[in-house]
Amino acid sequence: MTDLSFVNARIVRPDGAEPGELHVRDGTIVGSPAPNATTIDCRGKTLAPGIVDLGVFAIDRAAFRAGGIVRVGLMPDQSPVLDDPGIVQRASLVGKPRLWIHPIAAATKGLAGIDLAEMAIMKGAGAKAVSTGRRWIADSGVMRKVLAYARDLDLAVITHAEDGGLTDGKVATEGETATRLGLPAAPAIAEALAVARDVALAEETGARLHVRQVTTAAGFALIRAAKRRGARVTCGITPAHLLLSDNAMSDFRTFAHLSPPLRDESDRQAALAAVRDGTVDVLCSGHDPRGPEEKRLPFADAAAGASGAETLLALSLSLDLPIERLFALLAANPARILGVETGSLAPGMSADLLLLDETAPWQIKGEAMTARAGNTPFDGLPAQGKVLRLWKGGAEILA
């Protein structure tokens, strides 16, 4: 493996960004240059940790490369479901060496929410967490067992926070927009109900709980209070729920059909505040590419999901966060939840790096995306920030 010295870079560290050099030997960040290392002149651009995208629904190498993503936490909602050690092991190996896939195993067999899956064996096969997938486990007794079992294995439990009793068959959030469009809608409180129960069980069992997406003021209040009590609770969100309200559904455009659904403006403002005050731990793409056969349907019949990997970084840059905070949300925190040694440009870490031009302008165009499908609710939006080059363990990932 070629040793590297990055010079003339603006380097993102946990405590800020400053001009400097970074050195890589045998795929690992080191404190001094290796003899005969290849020099890479970064020309003043930003050198940051490669993104760890926690909770994608599809493997999409081209989209990940374009978005600066070097590792993904793959949700168990695959075909077949990631509820078997052999399937988990194959998923963990399929992307290497250019992409590392960290499987998130199903917490229950078939994601049915009834019988616990063999978490210990799946951890041995490569699973880095367990999850309820796109669903919420309705049976509190089963959920308590999931959390207790995962605690003993030191695995995070990643949940979908919507009470299924209120949201089944619904495609929008109750409110003016859903009423005007005549869409089947669920109350936003469905999220807080799910978060409240799962947080209570996590505190009672001592398990690590990560709520993949929190999107309402009531949900954030519960997460914030749980953190103050010292609970082992974290949460994430996608740029779509930070930058769009349910008004984006006004033209019945199915690209704005997401799960959880877009919320009203007051909840969107609460989400922005939760990012700023540290309640949110992870920014993720929720990458879920859907072709025209699933999206070119009436809104209520179309599949939920958006293609988010290519736009994750640029949309996150628009939040105007300190750069070190941004990459804590995109890389360090998701790496910590998965328990993998990356996400920070510190000696000893894997040399997962992205070179970024933060000021490069471009326009998001669904038909021009490299993803498996261009179903983005941001089609036509001007953006800023492009990935120039990307390395995984010191090896460059070429387009």
* Cα(230)–Cα(302) distance, integer angstroms: 40
pTM of the predicted model as reported, rounded to 2 decimal places = 0.96
Q: What pLDDT, on the 0 to 100 scale, is given for residue 291?
A: 87
The pLDDT of residue 1 is: 67
Q: How many helices (H) and strands (E) does the chain have?
A: 14, 18
Q: Along the 399 residues of the chain, how does pLDDT read in single tens digits?
A: 689 999 999 999 999 999 999 999 999 999 998 888 999 999 999 999 999 999 999 999 999 999 999 999 999 999 999 999 999 999 999 877 788 999 999 999 999 999 999 999 999 999 999 999 999 999 999 999 999 999 999 999 999 999 999 999 999 999 999 999 999 999 999 999 999 999 999 999 999 999 999 999 999 999 999 999 999 999 999 999 999 999 999 888 899 999 999 999 999 999 999 999 999 999 999 999 998 889 899 999 999 999 999 999 999 999 999 999 999 999 999 999 999 999 999 999 999 999 999 999 999 998 888 888 888 999 999 999 999 999 999 999 987
Q: Which of 122, 63, 119, 129 is nearest to 95 (CA)?
A: 63
Domains of the chain: 50-344+359-384 (3.20.20.140)
Strands (E), the chain: 4-13, 16-25, 28-30, 38-41, 46-49, 51-56, 69-74, 100-106, 129-131, 156-159, 172-173, 185-186, 209-211, 233-237, 282-283, 353-363, 382-392, 395-396
To the nearest 10 degrees (0 to 180), the angle between helices 189-205 and 217-228 is: 20
CB 70 within 8 A of CB 100: yes
Q: Report how far residue 43's alpha carbon sits from residue 106's, in angstroms, rounded to the nearest whole number.
A: 45
Neighbouring CB atoms inside 10 A of 140's CB total 12
Concatenated DSSP letters of 150-177: HHHHT-EEEE----HHHHTT--EETTHH
Residue 45 neighbours by CB under 8 Å, 6+ apart: 9, 10, 355, 356, 357, 358, 388
Beta bridge partners of 56: 74
The pair of structure tokens assigned to 22 is 């970074």
